[in-house]
């Protein structure tokens, strides 16, 4: 039977974390603001103080009172909308942001916030439309192209995503993260050589951008350049010696190169740094299988499964190890479970191994 040793490779795209949804600091209105009701100013600034103290209900109330005194108080609507975003009151936030746009049609920040709200609501098409509106305004920041591009990437619209990252880089040519992420999108689009160039540029722009080295290593590994791959992972580890993802991926490169002892050392080191990293447990199990240490492989898969009951690859490898231990029925159960979790290669094992015969025996 053909052996399939499944080891997970991680592609790190620096998708903006939830931090990019932060509403940012609220701007104080000074007492001398021309033509603004002094009580509205006071209430507005009290709203900011409440916001900064995380008293969100109080902040919303203060902004509301300021708006009642100054119905065209654009910043009060904007900041109340930000409070509603923090409270996940999406529809109320959208109402306030629409009011901001009514008062100031060039308010790119209001469109940007609308886009983020639509993302939270799961309406990506509306989010794209809001970003497009924001980008049509004067002096739209490069970050908006980045954000829309990463949203296109989430929507698997790689060409549109690449175009937006192109614009981001054109406006902000020192943005190392944008080069990294464009590289990852190009990788997904099958443009491997262009992706490598972007990763190389990313680390030139920022020599400490650790995940760009990691991504370059993973792409070189996919291309079969194991020596180049390991060199890139080594560079990542020079920047951050406890970067367990690069260690895990270097182990995968050694594994693919047939250097099982070196792979084992890397997976062991990963598990010292992060004992609950199930991918390293599964990958170490694959090494043990190659080394014919089947009981050790089963133990690692058992531990991985205890941490993640839905980790199909661990069931696959445990099934392989159990078959080699002549525990065929248990192996078949593991492959069946792996297949149910979407591991397509598990079906090959189940259908071509002893499982059909065992099933026929059960049904007699």
Per residue in 117-169, pLDDT (tens digit) is: 999 999 999 999 999 999 999 888 999 999 999 999 999 999 999 999 999 99
Q: For residue 137, give the DSSP letter.
A: S
Identify the pLDDT of residue 9.
33
Q: What is the pLDDT of residues 230-269, one digit of tens each?
A: 999 999 999 999 999 999 999 999 999 999 999 999 999 9
Identify the pLDDT of residue 363.
60
Grade residue 105 by pLDDT with cuts at 50, 70 and 90.
very high
Cα–Cα dist 57/34, whole Å: 28
The maximal CA–CA distance of the chain, rounded, in angstroms, is 91
Identify the pLDDT of residue 246.
96
CB atoms within 10 A of CB 255: 24
Q: Which CATH number fits domain 276-364: 1.10.443.10, 2.60.120.10, 3.30.70.260, 1.25.40.10?
A: 1.25.40.10
Residue 333 has pLDDT above 70, yes or no: yes
Please state the rounded mean pLDDT for residues 55-67: 96
Cα–Cα dist 227/232, whole Å: 9
Type and span of the H or E element at 89: none
Grade residue 317 by pLDDT with cuts at 50, 70 and 90.
very high
Identify the pLDDT of residue 35.
74
Q: For residue 161, give the DSSP letter.
A: H
Please state the rounded mean pLDDT for residues 48-52: 91
Cα–Cα dist 211/188, whole Å: 16
CB atoms within 10 A of CB 30: 9
Cα–Cα dist 325/53, whole Å: 61
CB atoms within 10 A of CB 239: 18
Cα–Cα dist 345/336, whole Å: 11
């Amino acid at each position: 039977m053909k052996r399939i040793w499944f080891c997970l490779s991680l592609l790190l795209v620096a998708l903006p974390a939830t931090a990019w949804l932060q509403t940012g600091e609220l701007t104080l209105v000074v007492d001398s603001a021309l033509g603004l009701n002094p009580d509205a100013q006071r209430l507005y600034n009290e709203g900011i103080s409440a916001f900064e103290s995380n008293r969100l209900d109080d902040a919303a109330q203060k902004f509301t009172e300021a708006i009642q005194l100054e119905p065209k108080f654009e910043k009060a609507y904007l900041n109340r909308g930000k409070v509603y975003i923090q409270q996940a009151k999406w529809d109320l936030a959208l109402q306030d942001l629409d009011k901001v746009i009514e008062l100031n049609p060039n308010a790119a920040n209001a469109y940007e916030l609308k886009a983020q709200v639509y993302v939270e609501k799961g309406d990506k098409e509306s989010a794209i439309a809001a970003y497009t509106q924001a980008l049509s305004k004067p002096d739209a920041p490069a970050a908006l192209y980045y954000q829309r591009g990463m949203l296109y990437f989430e929507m698997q619209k790689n060409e549109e995503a690449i175009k937006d990252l192109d614009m981001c880089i054109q406006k902000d040519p020192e943005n190392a993260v944008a080069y990294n992420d464009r590289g990852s999108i190009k990788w997904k689009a099958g443009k491997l050589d262009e992706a490598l160039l972007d990763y190389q540029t990313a680390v030139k722009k920022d020599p400490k951008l650790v995940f760009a080295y990691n991504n370059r290593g993973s792409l070189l590994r996919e291309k079969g350049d194991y020596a180049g791959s390991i060199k890139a992972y080594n560079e990542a580890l020079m920047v951050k010696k406890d970067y367990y993802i690069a260690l895990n991926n270097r182990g995968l490169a050694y594994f693919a190169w047939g250097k099982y002892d070196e792979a084992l050392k890397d997976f062991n080191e990963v598990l010292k740094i992060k004992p609950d990293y199930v991918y390293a447990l599964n990958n170490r199990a694959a090494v043990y299988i190659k080394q014919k240490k089947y009981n050790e492989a089963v133990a690692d898969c058992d531990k991985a499964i205890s941490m993640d009951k839905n980790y199909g690859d661990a069931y696959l490898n445990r099934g392989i190890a159990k078959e080699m231990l002549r525990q065929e029925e248990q192996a078949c159960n593991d492959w069946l479970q792996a297949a149910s979790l979407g591991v397509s290669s598990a079906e090959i094992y189940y259908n071509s191994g002893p499982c059909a015969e065992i099933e026929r025996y059960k049904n007699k």
